[in-house]
Amino acid sequence: MRALVILVNADRRALRHTEALLSEAGHLVATIWSFAEAKKVLDSVIPDLLVADVRLGAFNGLHLAIRSRHEHPDIPVIITNEHADAITEAQALQYGAQFVAAPLENPALFLRCVESALAERRRTQAPVRRWSRQRVATAVQVSAGDAPAQIVDMSYGGVRLAFSDSVDLPGTFEIRLPSTGVTLKAHRVWTASSETKDQFWCGAELEETARRDWRGFVDTLKSAGPA
């Protein structure tokens, strides 16, 4: 399974280029540009690595490092800055985070730090479900890989689909949400026949480029669900 990296940077250009760097290295990247959005996502997702720039408007990446260490002490954190800063580096180390200056100017160093942090996490932690799932209270019909399906449960990063018959889904397929007109690209993670129902199930992970629309759809279903 590819590593999930949450990348937080208020500079949209730097965010886009750093995302490309990490994606080319084979990682799943959740890009976030605000402190508030990062907090919301970290409440629902357990990433393999958090990379946060020190400058996030009224807050900074160190606040996220402190919060992450308190709630998920096993998640490695890397703090970035556009230039070297001895004080920020010392503070990052104090909170158990690594510090990398100018990651886009030093991509080899940055990627070595990323791989080192991920390797240490793999050595010390058992695999966990990264995306907290929530069952869907009412039936939501979708089209997945050109076949009708129903959402069984969902998270901000993935979904479990139920089909009435066995389907041969490709590794990457589209999920169409008729109620919104949105089409999302997903990666098949697993398939299985239900042991208790006459259904064929598929667990899928949404592509990062689709997750902003998907998060909005998930939040809509949550707000419409029972209190």
Domain ranges of the chain: 4-124, 134-224
- Taking only the tens place, the pLDDT of each residue in 77-124 is 999 999 999 999 999 998 889 999 999 999 999 999 999 999 988 876
**pLDDT, position 60:** 85
Task: Answer whether residue 13 shows pLDDT above 60.
Answer: yes
Task: Answer whether residue 75 shows pLDDT above 90.
Answer: no
- Taking only the tens place, the pLDDT of each residue in 15-38 is 999 999 998 998 888 888 888 888
Q: Which pTM was predicted?
A: 0.58
CATH code of 134-224, in short, is 2.40.10.220
Token couple for 109: 């160093």
We find that the CATH architecture of domain 4-124 is 3-Layer(aba) Sandwich (3.40)
Task: Answer whether residue 127 shows pLDDT above 60.
Answer: no
- Taking only the tens place, the pLDDT of each residue in 137-182 is 667 889 998 899 998 888 777 888 889 888 888 888 999 987 777 8
| % of residues, the chain, pLDDT over 90 | 33
Q: What angle do CA 17, 62, 25 make, to 5 degrees?
A: 30
**Cα 175 to Cα 52, 74, 141, distances in angstroms:** 31, 33, 10
Q: How far apart are CA 211 and CA 184, in angstroms?
A: 8
